[in-house]
Structure 1
Amino acid sequence: MKRFSCLTPLFLFLLQAPFLATSCASSSADHGSPAAASIESREIQYEADGVALTGYLARPSEHAKSAPGVLVIHEWWGHNDYVRRRADELAELGYVAFALDMYGSGKTASHPTDAGAFAGEVMANADVMEARFRAALEVLNSQEGVNPNKTGAIGYCMGGGIALKMARETATVDAVASFHGSVGAALGAKDAGRLSYALIATGGADPLVPLEQVEELEEELRTDGMKEIKTIIFPTAVHGFTNPDATAMGEKFPDLPLAYDAAADERSWEALKAMFAAAL
């Protein structure tokens, strides 16, 4: 598989990532719908093992008596406006979404050196990862009207790997989705038995996501006995294809294979909506 020769050790942990699959569409992204629900949102301060964390809760303004909850896990840049927008979009669809914090309150990165350091600390410490995931899940499930028996998790970049690993190991998630995720962390994870649906979307031109690992992960998920596993490759998409800011970041840091792809973004979001409709 062709890879960028400019990759540095800072980004090598991202190479632990799986994905397989199909094709892409060509149309402009529009994550809302004509009848998108009005939403309300707020920050929530919480903690895990004494570390202060800041999350973001988004929910429909008309509270359902028993709505599915969805955790949203950020890219290696940290908990920023992008992950909050994704939570808003899920709320417009009727879910209660909580964009969690894996780094600590106010800890975000604008340079790859910092992002790599922050991400490396979490990815290298499974106990920290799980503690922060579970703390966020507790916040989500404590919200009025959230059904703890219908739970999803989605993640982007680093967050995709975390979402898959935690979904397999913690028996807390029914459906999981990873978008251009560094999901090597999920390989070899012990299935705890609850996860039933998985969506994995990646760019076929992304050197950070080796396709051979996709096949390995798919085989593991099939062994887990899940109801549905859907993997999608967007042939010309590179890393970060769902984030409109990715192109500018890729231009600023040429060593990173980053670019937004509106068609892949829209198609992968539609696949997520379909999966959640079936699973939650």
Structure 2
Amino acid sequence: MKASCISMLAAGMLALFTGLPAQAAYPERPVKVVVAFTAGGTTDKLTRSTSEKLGQALKQSFIVENRPGAGGNIGTEYVVRSDPDGYTLIVDSVGPIAVNPSLMKLDYDPLTDLVPIVQIATVPNVLVVPPNLPVKTFEDFLKYAKSKKGLNYGSTGVGTSSHLSSHLLMQHIDAQDATHVPYKGADALNDLMSGRLDFMFATAPSVMGQIRAGKLRALAVSTQQRLASLPDVPTVAEKGFKDFDSGSWFGFFAPKDTPADVIATINKGVNDALPTLKADMLNEGAIAVGGTPEDFGKFTHIEYEKWKKIVEKLDTKAQ
């Protein structure tokens, strides 16, 4: 009798559990991927190409949404405040994650309020000038910058590596009166090509087309190594500024408390996609990275400490 009751109870429990609907695999609906800068810039380009591959692999739409402003803080905070369900992600960069916490007063901490998923790429900045500027080489530019008062330089926003690369170089050559003109994103390039700006450090993918078309002149690269897609362009470091190293990077993040299985799914999807994107990225000046969430998390903290020291040393203000 006792055994019979146990068997009946077991059968009832089995029927109960088998009657429950199976949990749908992520993602079961479209995923929003926020870009904290304007369309057409490097963050936007890398996000769209990677999101397209993710969508193909995961059989779901990954919809890119641009939310520019405040050096990337507007889009970043939007994602920080979003539900941690895996359906709102962000591809963010060095400025909003590693620079702005030291440069500005924020109502959130991107290093703790966002979960790193995977790094997409590292990207050098390229010092570019309009063709009508009377300089042909980096040495010419240094002489020009030291002699000319009231230089104007653009950036993709306060606190971005684009901004700080220029600021750092102007500090090095004592061109203190150079004026920074921040833009929400890639719009700075239009003013640069028209001659309203004198120079800019721009992420390589955002200016590769203009360089090849002769609309901008590349004078130097901001990282320690030359760029394979611009092999004849020297680095700032090899021209006498040995510690100059000011590149950018990009990667996927999610709101804090996003489920671990979602993080794992996006991480695997991006790592699987990068080999198919690597050649195109390299041609445009980006270097594919990939790796684990733990790798990316350690990297972002190292970058934060690096840029914190630079910001403090230069006494850079958010302006």
* Structure with more of its chain in helix, by fraction: 2
Give the TM-score of the pair, scaled to structure 2. 0.29
Give the TM-score of the pair, scaled to structure 1. 0.31
Larger Rg computed on CA atoms: 2
